[in-house]
């Protein structure tokens, strides 16, 4: 501990505070003192919250769960970039050593029409679930466990599907997109299933249903800015958006 | 119809109309370049010897430009509506000035196209008023006379900067919208978009510039 106290930092936070969905919100300033470089970003927020609670104030509400970069719950725009802008890193995996003593950090919620604010930094991301409910599945009869390798999947296709399946559904792509579009998320689900034999049967219905659901849930259109891929903590590639576009064209002629 | 209503369908219409406009831009450049070989009058005469073809072609071009503008405006309005609140701090990682201003570079191009048609097609602007009493308009003389005016050349040059910005995002973008893209081609298209649109800009500007500096004269 003593080794660390010498290089602890003081950081000024500007945090979006909003009491409820329709309440007006604004940026509030807080001082985070004795921040250790080894702390994660969320641990730093935990300590700020403890001080707020001790002072009888409302702690900052933020989403989190696994804190190991796999669940997709954490969600803050940190200094203008969803998850803070460290390549392939979720906010929970971001460490305070990437900041310097005296830094100012702006923390804001995901912003998009499809993601209404619930409180402070917490937004409602069910719109993403509704896109997946519209077609991000394969219909199959359950029964006995099929033999392994009964359906052959070429290795490159399996790898491609796994790359798409890395999406953790955090919504950073939507938060980063100047158009509030969910094309990266949607395309990852469409591509993952379209390339596998089990998913091919429903490929055309799926892409149409998921694209419609994206539109109905208030997401914007894709302008190919590629801001999503740059912000995605899983490095999901926009090549999947190209794949969605190809799948969509095939579906148009069905 | 799915293609006219869905978000991906409309982007396809943007992409296809954009590609047709790029083809037109290439053919138009080839036609204009005949001025360097002294063939521009022959080229213009050849075009206008077939009025029905010319009018069918104009109708098709109007439909293409109309589609491109309508969906461009519609998509832009929908995109603004889907992202109504700004961040207090925003650090852009990948989006560029060109990609964020497609609607403005596009609308300025539309304004330029109207001016360009009023000038050299309808011959209604002051610099070409002298052609009204000519039985056959000498296209070479008209172009050289108008481009001897520095103000007009500046307008053309600025319009071509808009074309450069629009296409430096438009070229990689239409390829992605068509789905003709993968991890290897993404960076290649980005560079190709800039190189091709810079070439088009410089090639188009070369004609008024050559005339203005007096290398090409009556
Ligand atoms: C006449 C006025 C024009 C307007 C208002 C306009 C507007 C737009 C807009 C708003 C977009 C972006 C759409 C989006 O990504 O959501 C776009 C894309 C594009 N434009 Fe234009 N534009 C115009 C003229 C042109 C011209 C003259 C060309 C070709 C020489 C062109 C070629 C393209 C291409 C290739 C794209 C990319 C399509 C895609 O993303 O798939 N545009 N235009
Ligand atoms: S594509 Fe990336 S940024 Fe978008 S939801 Fe999935 S993991 Fe998050
Ligand atoms: S809290 Fe689970 S990914 Fe960050």
**A177: nearest CA partner in chain B:** B83
Distance separating alpha carbons of residues B52 and B56, to the nearest angstrom: 6
In chain A, CATH 3.10.20.30 covers 2-119
How high is the pLDDT of residue A5?
53
Atom of ligand 3 nearest to the CA of A69: 3
Q: What is the reported pLDDT for B1?
A: 77
Identify the structural domains of chain B with CATH numbers, from first to last: 2-84+94-212 (1.20.1300)
Residue of A85, A211, A221 with shortest CB distance to B79? A221
Q: Mutation test of ligand 3: which of A45, A63, A68 has the most ligand atoms closer than 8 Å to its C-beta? A: A68
If you measure CA to CA, which chain A residue comes closest to B95?
A225
Which among A77, A222, A239 has the least Cβ separation from residue B183? A239
Strands A9-17 and A26-35: antiparallel
- Ligand 1 lined by B70 (C-beta under 6 Å): no
CA-closest candidate to residue B163, choices B187, B198, B191: B198
Nearest CA to ligand 2 atom 7: A167
List CB contacts (< 8 A) between A110 and chain B: none
> What residue in A sits closest to B103 (Cα-Cα)?
A223
Contact A105, A44 (CB under 8 A): no
DSSP-H helix ranges across A21-150: 41-54, 126-133
Tens of each residue's pLDDT in chain A, 254 residues: 444 456 899 999 999 999 999 999 999 999 999 999 999 999 999 999 999 999 999 999 999 999 999 999 999 999 999 999 999 999 999 999 999 999 999 999 999 999 999 999 999 999 999 999 999 999 987 888 888 888 899 999 999 999 999 999 999 999 999 999 999 999 999 999 999 999 999 999 999 999 999 999 999 999 999 999 999 999 999 999 999 999 999 999 88
For all residues of chain B together, what is the average pLDDT?
96
A208, A222, A230 member nearest B94 (Cβ): A230
* Atom 37, ligand 1: residue with shortest CA distance: B170
| Cα–chain center distance at A62 | 14
Q: Note the pLDDT of residue A145.
A: 84
Question: For atom 6 of ligand 1, which residue has the closest CA?
Answer: B106
The torsion defined by the Cα of B150, B155, B161 and B165, in degrees rounded to 10, comes to 170
Residue nearest atom 8 of ligand 2, based on CA coordinates: A170
For residue B86, the chain A residues in CB contact (below 8 A) are 111
Candidates A63, A72, A84, A175: which one to mutate for ligand 3, based on the most atoms within 8 Å of Cβ? A72
pLDDT in tens, B22-74: 999 999 999 999 999 999 999 999 988 989 999 999 999 999 999 999 999 99
Is B195's pLDDT higher than 90?
Answer: yes
- From chain B, the residues in CB contact with A230 under 8 A are 93-94
Note the ipTM here. Answer: 0.94
Which of 1.10.3470.10, 3.40.50.720, 3.10.20.30, 3.30.980.10 is the CATH number of A2-119? Answer: 3.10.20.30
Q: What is the pLDDT of residue A62?
A: 98
Average pLDDT over residues B128-152: 95
Q: CATH 1.10.1060.10 residue ranges in chain A?
A: 125-252
The pLDDT value recorded for residue A2 is 46
Please name the residues in contact with A60: beta carbons below 8 A apart, sequence gap of 6 or more. Answer: A15, A17, A45, A48, A49, A52, A120, A121
* Fold classification of A125-252 (topology level): Fumarate Reductase Iron-sulfur Protein; Chain B, domain 2 (1.10.1060)
Question: Cβ A180–B83 below 8 Å, yes or no?
Answer: yes
pLDDT in tens, A134-177: 999 999 878 888 888 888 999 999 999 999 999 999 999 999 99
pLDDT of residue A146: 81
Given a cut of 90, whether residue B218 has pLDDT beyond it is: no
Q: Give me the pLDDT at residue A6, please.
A: 62
């Amino acid at each position: 501990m003593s080794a660390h106290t010498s290089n602890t930092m003081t950081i000024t936070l500007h945090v979006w505070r909003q009491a409820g969905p329709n309440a007006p919100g604004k940026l509030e300033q807080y001082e985070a003192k004795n921040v250790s470089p080894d702390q994660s970003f969320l641990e730093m927020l935990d300590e700020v919250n403890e001080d707020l609670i001790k002072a009888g104030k409302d702690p900052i509400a933020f989403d989190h769960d696994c804190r190991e970069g796999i669940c997709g719950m954490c969600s803050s725009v940190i200094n203008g970039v969803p998850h803070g802008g460290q390549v392939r890193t979720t906010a929970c995996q971001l460490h305070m050593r990437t900041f310097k003593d005296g830094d100012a950090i702006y923390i804001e919620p995901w912003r998009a029409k499809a993601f209404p604010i619930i409180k402070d930094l917490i937004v409602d991301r069910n719109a993403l679930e509704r896109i997946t409910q519209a077609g991000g599945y394969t219909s199959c009869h359950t029964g006995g466990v099929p033999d392994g390798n009964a359906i052959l999947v070429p290795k490159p296709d399996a790898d491609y599907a796994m790359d798409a399946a890395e999406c953790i559904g955090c919504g950073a792509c939507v938060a980063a997109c100047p158009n509030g579009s969910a094309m990266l998320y949607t395309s990852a689900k469409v591509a993952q299933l379209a390339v596998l034999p089990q998913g091919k049967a429903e490929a055309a219905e799926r892409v149409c249903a998921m694209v419609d659901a994206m539109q109905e849930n208030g997401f914007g259109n894709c302008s190919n800015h590629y801001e999503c891929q740059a912000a995605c903590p899983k490095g999901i590639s926009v090549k999947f958006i190209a794949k969605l576009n190809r799948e969509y064209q095939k579906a148009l002629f069905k | 119809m799915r293609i006219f209503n869905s978000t991906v369908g409309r982007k396809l219409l943007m992409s296809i109309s954009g590609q047709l406009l790029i083809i037109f831009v290439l053919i138009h450049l080839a036609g204009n370049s005949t001025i360097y070989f002294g063939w521009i009058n022959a080229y213009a005469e050849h075009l206008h010897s077939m009025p029905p073809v010319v009018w069918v072609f104009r109708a098709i071009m109007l439909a293409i430009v109309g589609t491109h503008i309508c969906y461009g405006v519609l998509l832009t309005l929908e995109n603004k509506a889907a992202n109504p609140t700004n961040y207090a701090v925003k650090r852009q990682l990948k989006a560029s000035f060109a990609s964020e201003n497609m609607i403005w570079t596009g609308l300025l191009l539309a304004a330029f196209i109207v001016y360009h048609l009023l000038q050299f097609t309808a011959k209604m602007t002051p610099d070409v008023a002298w052609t009204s009493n000519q039985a056959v308009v000498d296209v070479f003389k008209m172009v050289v006379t108008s481009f001897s005016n520095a103000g007009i050349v500046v307008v053309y040059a600025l319009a071509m900067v808009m074309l450069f910005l629009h296409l430096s995002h438009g070229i990689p973008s239409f390829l992605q919208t068509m789905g003709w893209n993968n991890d290897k081609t993404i960076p290649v298209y980005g560079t190709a978009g800039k190189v091709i649109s810079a070439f088009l800009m410089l090639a188009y500007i070369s004609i008024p510039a050559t005339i203005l500096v007096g290398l090409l004269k009556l």
